[in-house]
Amino acid sequence: MKLQKILKIIALPLLLSLLFTTSNCTYKNAQEVYPIDTIGCNTGNVSFANDIVPILVANCYSCHSNQNKFLGSGYVLEGYANDTLYVQNNPPNANMYNNVSDANVSDFYHMPKGLPSISACEIIKIKAWIDQGYKNN
């Protein structure tokens, strides 16, 4: 009898707190919550050679080049053919845009690994290049 009374006293606050915390959990796209200023970021006709490769050289090749692929778990971003694999999400969870646009540095798939995100303009250029058909231009 005493145990039932204790359980009732504990169960109600526990149930209410669980209900409260789960009802406030929603998924929001980071760009919707924290809009990105795109002023001055030209994404009209993104070029692989002139726009994307410099981003990759500056932020990715230290771990994801042919020479350093062992640092990047074997994922190589050097060269157009390699880059298009990661645009098509092949292998799974290796999607270039999703990985660089992940703002949570502690996430496993955030890139560059353990470093701050690349600039908003660089992320937008990668997205624009993909949306424009990820051409080898």
Q: Assess if residue 48 is contained within a domain.
A: yes
pLDDT in tens, 25-53: 555 455 554 556 667 899 989 999 999 99
Whole-prediction pTM value?
0.69
Q: What percent of the chain lies above the pLDDT cut of 70? A: 74
Q: Assess if residue 125 is contained within a domain.
A: yes
Span 69-89, average pLDDT: 84
Q: Which amino acid is at 136?
A: N
CA dihedral 78, 83, 85, 87 (to 10 degrees): 150
Residue 36 domain boundaries: 32-131
Q: Assess if residue 19 is contained within a domain.
A: no
Closest by CA to 136, choosing from 53, 17, 47, 34, is 47
Q: Assess if residue 86 is contained within a domain.
A: yes
Residue 88: both structure tokens together: 């098509």
Q: Assess if residue 12 is contained within a domain.
A: no
Instruction: Provide the domain count of the chain.
Output: 1
